[in-house]
Amino acid sequence: MKFNITLEEAQSLVLERCQPVETEFVHLNDALGRVLGRDIRAEENIPPFSRSPYDGYAFRAEDTIGATEANPVTLEVIEEVPAGYAPQKKVITGKAVKILTGAPIPEGADAVTKYEETGINGAYVEIYTSFKSNENIVPAGEDVAIDEIIAYKGTAVSPPIIGLMSALGITEVEVHKRPRIAIISTGDELLDISEPLSPGKIRNSNAYTLAAYCKELGTDPVIMGTVRDKTEEVARFINQGLEDADMVITTGGVSVGDYDVVGDAVKAAGAETLFWKIEIKPGSPSLAAVKDSKLILALSGSPAAAMVIYQLVGMVFIKKLAGWSEVFHPQTEVILKKDFRKASPRRRFLRGRLLVEDGTAYVETIGGQGNGVLRSLVGCDILAEIPEGSGPLKAGEKLTAYLLD
């Protein structure tokens, strides 16, 4: 077991033990948000044929050489082609086809003019300008070409990807299964959210917050309930969670107090502890262990501390577990909007919101930054990093920040 490690070491240790869950096939209607299990390659062009972008006329561009308003070219209209119908006639010298928006370009034609830019004379159309070959024609494959990859393995299916797959006639998609995440809360002080408060007790908010975060990530969270601060009971819950799910997350009981039994419970459950304590604030008293190739991530009982480590370690692991190809949060440079008056002897992460003003990115901290201040995560879309050994910071300081997605 490693002790007091860096955030990067913690991430590396859990990722080394992670294998993505298996894949399954789902109907296109059920694929939104799921993580692709393979590349999606086009077997057709989109659009499948060259088409007209306007209501107008299709003709041979060379027939319009020298055309002007004073000396227009007159072409015989031999057919009308609405959208959804195939042309029946070939365009030859001196001929044109009336064509509507989205209709296929007839064989022999290589240019289109707008209806309103022509003159009509019975069965003839007058063209008043010269055209080049392929002018005003939407080519086959303009959007997607045959054999082009439209979505890569390890990315989440979005509405536009759904649209492209439907245009290609794809009805079933190979995606990773939704990982099941067992959530266990430890602590004699915890009540279920349905119970009335009593002296010395608090309601179990951590389980529901974590479940919501996990669900937002596309997993299937299972709240297993609350267990007392007893080593044997916690170990039993952990083993049950490992049996029912792909990962176990616990909150509470990972510090050094008399009732912090999770470290012992992990051993009693037969798991191998990977690390205990990460050199950051908040959330330092965190633990990770492995049993039967499944991860147990034990977080602080303090709500904000637990959720920050979930974002920085748990979410990274879950993304790989779920099949994502990119698992780390994007980083950027931001400027501190307001003074931060506390010293940071340990590497610290501030909960905040990203503001962009006149092209400059700022971070504005949200509320109090204490370990138990869950409200500081409402509207939080960025974690700004203060280096270890820093004193109080003034507004205008540059910080590295992690964008939460």
3-state secondary structure 249-294: EEECCCCCCCCCCHHHHHHHCCCEEEEEEECCECCCCCEEEEECCE
User: 259 pLDDT band (50/70/90 cuts)?
Assistant: low
High-pLDDT (> 90) share of the chain, %: 97
User: 235 pLDDT band (50/70/90 cuts)?
Assistant: very high
pLDDT for 405 equals 76
pLDDT for 19 equals 96
What CA–CA distance (Å, rounded) separates 115 from 56?
4
pLDDT for 256 equals 72
The model's pLDDT over 5-60, given as tens digits with 9 standing for 90+, comes to 999 999 999 999 999 999 999 999 999 999 999 999 999 999 999 999 999 999 99
What CA–CA distance (Å, rounded) separates 234 from 227?
6
Average pLDDT over all residues of the chain: 96
| Per-residue pLDDT at 282 exceeds 80 | yes
Q: For residue 312, how many C-alpha atoms fall within 13 Å in the half-sphere facing its CB?
A: 31
Q: Give the DSSP letter of residue 159.
A: H
Domains of the chain: 2-21+178-321 (3.40.980.10), 28-45+145-175 (3.90.105.10), 56-127 (2.170.190.11), 331-403 (2.40.340.10)
The model's pLDDT over 195-211, given as tens digits with 9 standing for 90+, comes to 999 999 999 999 999 99
Burial bucket for residue 345 (CB in 10 Å: 0-12, 13-18, 19+) = exposed
Mean local confidence (pLDDT), 347-365:
97
Report which secondary-structure segment, H or E, holds 14: helix 7-16
| Per-residue pLDDT at 169 exceeds 90 | yes
User: 255 pLDDT band (50/70/90 cuts)?
Assistant: confident
Strand partners, 171: none
Q: Give the DSSP letter of residue 21.
A: P
* Exposure string over 31-53, b if 16+ CB within 10 A, otherwise e: beebbbbeebebeebbbeebbbe
pLDDT for 257 equals 74
Neighbouring C-beta atoms of residue 142, cutoff 10 Å? 13
Pairing between strand 348-357 and 294-299? unpaired
List, in sequence order, the alpha helices (H) in 313-389.
Answer: 315-321
Asked if 139 contacts 50 with a C-beta cutoff of 8 angstroms, the reply is yes
What CA–CA distance (Å, rounded) separates 294 from 158?
29
**DSSP string computed for 115-151:** GGGEEEETTEEEE-S---TTBT-B-TTSSB-TT-EEE
- Phi (first) and psi of residue 244, to 5 degrees: -95, -15
What CA–CA distance (Å, rounded) separates 124 from 77?
5
Q: Which among 226, 237, 220 has a CA at the least distance from the CA of 181?
A: 220
pLDDT for 89 equals 97
Mean local confidence (pLDDT), 295-304:
96
pLDDT for 45 equals 97
pLDDT for 122 equals 93
The model's pLDDT over 72-101, given as tens digits with 9 standing for 90+, comes to 999 999 999 999 999 999 999 999 999 999
pLDDT for 28 equals 98
Question: What amino acid occupies position 136?
Answer: N
Q: Which among 328, 348, 331, 373 has a CA at the least distance from the CA of 280?
A: 348
SS3 of 368, please? coil
Asked if 78 contacts 114 with a C-beta cutoff of 8 angstroms, the reply is no
| Per-residue pLDDT at 258 exceeds 80 | no
What CA–CA distance (Å, rounded) separates 74 from 71?
9
What CA–CA distance (Å, rounded) separates 74 from 106?
18
pLDDT for 187 equals 92
The model's pLDDT over 185-197, given as tens digits with 9 standing for 90+, comes to 999 999 999 999 9
- Tracing tokens 């039967």 back to the chain, one arrives at 292
Strand partners, 290: 272, 295
* Exposure string over 240-268, b if 16+ CB within 10 A, otherwise e: ebbeebbbbbbbbbbbeeeebbbbebbeb
